[in-house]
Structure 1
Amino acid sequence: MRYVLAMDQGTTSSRAIVFDSVARIHAIAQQEYRQIYPKPGWVEHDPHDIWQSQLAVAQQALVKANITARDVAAIGITNQRETTLLWDRHTGKPIDNAIVWQDRRTADFCAQLKSQHEQLFRERTGLLLDPYFSGTKLAWLLDHYQDARKRAENGELAFGTVDTWLLWNLTRGKMHATDVTNASRTLLFDIHHNRWDDELLDVLDIPAQVLPQIFASSADYGYTAPDIFGAPILIGGVAGDQQAALFGQACHAPGMVKNTYGTGCFMLMQTGDRACESQHGLLTTSAAQLDTQPVFALEGSVFICGAVVQWLRDGLGIIKSAAEIEALAMSVPDSGGVYFVPAFTGLGSPHWDPRARGAIFGLTRGTTHAHIARAALEAIGYQSAELLLAMQKDAATPIKELRVDGGAAANNLLMQHQADLLGVPVVRPRIIETTALGAAYLAGLTADVWNGTKEIAEHWQIDRVFEPMISRDEAAQRMFDWSKVVRACNPWGMD
């Protein structure tokens, strides 16, 4: 039996999963780490927390699986995207905390850029000028630390998203690299030609010397330093979490769609070799690539999904664990007219409003914790429904089903609500850890654990299908009511 170790570095926790050659899970280890909120709208992580937590769970997973490094054919890395780090090439020491993808500090800068450069960035990168992406975060770091830009120009500093930071540490600084999917989320990458773009770098005043080398998602990224796991292990695959999940869901053909319910919600449709430009607030992005041939996807991004459940636990204290929310929400027949818009860090697709803020509407004296919990779950479904409706408008063919994964996909109440709103079957696979599985598949292809996408697709199995149970008229009315409360989340009309 050959094994693949998947490192799944997420926004609120680091995970590691050991898969065997028939895609069965042999061990899982997970560790939450600290979230840092220095100012309203700012979100940071300590880079050492990211690395140490990911290293710890990877080592724990091998112990749990009762295997050693010599039993592991390859490591696959998947990661929270857009989170931005900058560190010293010689010491490996970060210049400050990582700026997390949820962070809004560059909203004003993005607004300034839009007036002159919006179309340029849209055409080259497939993205919108929004503080969500890495490029303006990197520019902010270079602007706010003494001599940072000069040091970057001199080749003294290294930029990376989380995958690059993990690769650097796993190889003890030998690899400063990223894959096409993570590069495609930086605002610095030409998705059509698979390369850093000099004109975009010039607009943001970012020296090319600071950038990592770009590889395919399934490729030889070198070996881990021998002391980390007791023996060197090939790093055979890297992909941003959402593209990894698309690959892990066996969405290898154009028109196939998946939605991941993690800290945020991210819906991707595979579009093959066609970079489909959205007319309805979605993004065009690179999908996981096995070679130099570009592969694309349409993406809708919801910034707050599972994070709203975490807030109910840590902020309001109405649940003790995330697992409690379904039972609490099911204790009432509906939300009692309560709507919860969790725009804690602005609104993503299809609204792209960085200044919107969260709100709860429809409160009465009869509102209970259960109504708020149900409204929070329903908000996840409403936001995801907005994405699919936009995707259906952009797509050339009707969407037949939605494949789902991520932690909240285990919530039956949410999945039924999702199917009701969408009007298409919601299909949950037996393995909902498809982000990690996608990373494992990419690495395993490099190490010849699997022969190709056809073999990978044969491992995908259905757990449950949720069919729509309400009329299309009722679903449309619910979405109309949701749209009204969303518009109220920027009451000052701020740009």
Structure 2
Amino acid sequence: MKEPYILSIDQSTQGTKCLLFDCRGSLLHRTDAAHQQIVSPEGWISHNMEEIYRNLISCIRKLVTESGIDKDAVRCIGISNQRETTVAWNRETGKPICSAIVWQCSRSRSVCERIASGGHAALIQERTGLPLSPYFPASKMAWILEHNEEAKMLAAQKKLYLGTVDSWLIYRMTNNTCFRTDYSNASRTQLFNIRTQTYDKDLCSIFGVESSMLPKICDSDSLFGMTDLGGFFNHPIPIHSVLGDSQSALFGQGCLEPGMIKATYGTGSSVVINIGSDPKFSSQGIATSVAWRFKGRTQYIMEGNINYTGAVLTWLTELGLLSSAAESSELARQSNPEDSTYLVPAFTGLGAPYWDSDAKALFSGMSRKTGRAELVRAGLECIAFQIRDVLDCIKKETDLSIRNLFVDGGPTQNEYLMQFQSDLMNAAVQVPNTQELSGIGAAYMSGIAVGIYDESIFHVIHRTSYHPQMSPSLREKKYEGWQNAIKVVLEKQ
């Protein structure tokens, strides 16, 4: 019998990653392709979904060919995806009717303002666990329906589908036959009632979205459909897991028990704690969502989302302050330790726990001697400060004493950032020996679903630990400076 392999698709904000795993849970090979970040003069951020699908097909073909495996040995596929990015398409053709609205994009702010002025914000948060914000798909869907003529026409003809990236990928991969999503993605739409675990009729009405336009919600380890990837595979392969990227990273870290917490450092960041089988709700700007529905059991998370973390390093590179993100760690070490520069990266507003879509980015605390190294250090440190903001809120909500933070994502390879994060939290930071936790989570869940793995698979991952070295007085001095910088940004609105 052929050794079975698992294919994982990690469709992130910056690009498509395809990963191949063996029956022991080891990552054998990876291919990836970046897609264009479309930024309009208004600052709206979009993605071309046709480009993304072409990249997906190309990456999978390249992955299987370069690895040298027998493609007939691929047993199942898992999908991890950027969550709140919103796609609208023609149900008959599968073709998008416009570019996807990326989660970072706040063009639907006016929709949220109108709904808030109608007195609905409290109801929305109570039922969804999410603060009313243009970050989430519901207002993006409403914006499309209000501003896109083709969307209006297709909606009238009952031919419009609306969904997140996972549901569109599934639809295309299954030859326009399976219109499905999982509980983790559905819970981020702001149309999902977290108590009843269904789309909420009242919320759909508030946003003007008919439930018939939305995908069927399935368990995260369900069979979502079969794909031969446009004839590449000789027989159809089951898509047997779908998870939003943050939940997938939590699963990949093995954070299956209540109280376990992780942070994903990507374009933005997500700080997530597993809170078990009973949802808890925040008064501190922290969202409550579904972690996953796995083996017939729903688990919940509390989560803080940050708009700009890893993307700050991209911005610094675009400015010419860095030749690549990799040099930021050494440059930060060379900076003047007495410099008090802070960067608040509110390029598209502030996410948790502030949720201020009007906030603007700001450098503060500079002196005449502030230079390149100090600006880069401020860019790195703002990532850790934002993570602490969210962790402090989570501690207040859960009375949790955080001893370990499990982390993942490309910026976790930055030694300066990881040490500063540990110092700022006064807790250990656990960095895995792989950056691919979102892809791993989808692969492991799919592998468990088809019986290749069991839950002992999580012990495959090894970690490097960072422990706090900063004095308590310096820690609080630095954090107080950050809080003052945040106040300046919020008070200028």
The TM-score with structure 1 as length reference comes to 0.95
- For the 8 Å contact 2:138–2:207, the answer to whether it is kept is yes
- Aligned residue among 233, 240, 246 for 1:242: 246
Match of 2:344 in 1: 341
Moved more, 19-28 or 242-251: 19-28
Paired residue type of 2:279: A
Preserved CA contact (<8 Å) 1:192 1:294:
no
Instruction: Name 2:478's counterpart in structure 1.
Output: 478
Q: Distance in 1 between matches of 2:184 and 2:120?
A: 23
Query: Which residue in the other structure is 2:108 paired with?
Result: 106
Q: Pick one of 276, 279, 302 that aligns with 2:306.
A: 302
Counterpart for residue 258 of structure 2: 254
- 1:285 and 1:226 map into 2 onto residues whose CA distance is 31
Cα displacement (A) at 1:59: 2.0
Q: Is the alpha carbon distance of 1:397 and 1:489 closer, same or farther for their aligned partners in structure 2, counting shifts above 3 Å?
A: closer
Answer yes or no: is 1:380 the counterpart of 2:383.
yes
Alpha carbons of 1:153 and 1:177: their partners in 2 closer, same or farther (altered >3 Å)?
farther
Q: Per-residue deviation at 1:330?
A: 2.4
1:401 and 2:407 aligned: no
Question: Aligned pair 1:2/2:27, yes or no?
Answer: no
1:265 aligned onto 2:244: no
The alignment status of 1:205 with 2:208, answered yes or no, reads: yes
CA distance in 2, matches of 1:106, 1:401: 37
Deviations along 1:23-82, one digit per CA (max 9) or x if unpaired, are: 211111121111111133411111112212222222222222212431211111111111
The separation in 1 between residues aligned to 2:81 and 2:338, in whole angstroms, is: 34
- Correspondent of 1:441 among 444, 450, 471: 444
Query: In 2, are the aligned partners of 1:122 and 1:128 still within 8 Å (CA)?
Result: yes
- The answer as to 2:434 corresponding to 1:431 is yes
Poorly superposed stretches of 4+, deviation over 4 Å: none
Specify the alignment match of 1:193 in structure 2: 196
The one-letter code of the counterpart of 1:456 is I
**Distance between the aligned counterparts of 2:359 and 2:430, measured in 1?**
32
* Structure-1 separation of matches of 2:73 and 2:368: 60
Q: 2:460 corresponds to which residue?
A: 459
The structure 2 residue matched to 1:274, chosen from 266, 274, 278, is 278
Q: Which residue of 1 aligns with 2:34?
A: 32
- Secondary structure at 2:63 match in 1: helix
Task: Give the structure 2 partner of residue 181 of structure 1.
Answer: 184
Q: CA deviation at 1:349?
A: 0.6
Structure 2 counterpart of 1:171: 174
Distance 2:293 2:250 in 1: 12
Q: Within 1, Cα distance between the matches of 2:460 and 2:16?
A: 25
Report the aligned-residue RMSD: 1.6
For 1:87, the aligned partner's letter is W
Q: Sort the Cα spacing of 1:34 and 1:226 in 2 relative to 1 into closer, same or farther, 3 A.
A: closer
The letter for the 2-side match of 1:174 is T
Q: CA deviation at 1:269?
A: 0.1
Farther-moved stretch of structure 1 (162-171 vs 288-297):
288-297
Distance 1:156 1:360 in 2: 48
2:469 and 2:392 map into 1 onto residues whose CA distance is 18
1:49 paired residue number: 51
Cα distance in 2 for residues equivalent to 1:348 and 1:251: 24
d(CA) in 1 for partners of 2:475, 2:293: 37
Matched, 1:118 2:157: no
- 8 Å contact kept, 2:308–2:347: yes
2:85 corresponds to which residue? 83
Q: 1:64 to 1:109 in 2, by over 3 A?
A: same
Contact 1:404 1:432 in 2 (8 A): no
Q: Any unmatched runs of 5+ in structure 2?
A: none
| 1:160 aligned residue (120, 143, 163) | 163
Deviations 1:140-196 (A, max 9, x none): 101112262452253201111111111111111111111111111111111222211
Does residue 321 of the first structure (1) align with residue 324 of the second (2)? yes
Distance in 2, Cα, partners of 1:205 & 1:150: 14
Aligned partners of 2:81, 2:487: CA distance in 1, in Å?
A: 32
Instruction: Provide the rounded CA distance (Å) in 2 between the counterparts of 1:459 and 1:60.
Output: 26
2:59 and 2:401 mapped to 1: Cα distance?
Answer: 41
| SS of residue paired to 2:44 | coil
2:90–2:154 CA contact under 8 A, matched in 1: no
Q: In the aligned structure 2, how far is the partner of 1:482 from the partner of 1:113?
A: 32
8 Å Cα contact 2:173/2:229 also seen in 1:
no
The worse-fitting range, judged by mean Cα deviation, of 194-203 and 239-248 is: 194-203
Provide the rounded CA distance (Å) in 2 between the counterparts of 1:461 and 1:152.
50
Per mean C-alpha deviation after superposition, the further-off stretch among 392-401 and 476-485 is 392-401
Name the CA distance, whole Å, in 2 between partners of 1:183 and 1:397.
27
Q: How far apart, in 1, do the equivalents of 2:248 and 2:231 lie?
A: 25
| Equivalent-residue separation in structure 1 for 2:457 and 2:115 (angstroms) | 42
Q: Using the TM superposition, name which of 382-391 and 288-297 deviates more.
A: 288-297
What secondary structure does 1:389 align onto?
A: helix
Aligned counterparts of 1:337 and 1:399: Cα–Cα separation in 2: 27
Contact 1:358 1:489 (C-alpha < 8 Å) held by counterparts: yes
Aligned equivalents of 1:68 and 1:335: distance in 2? 58
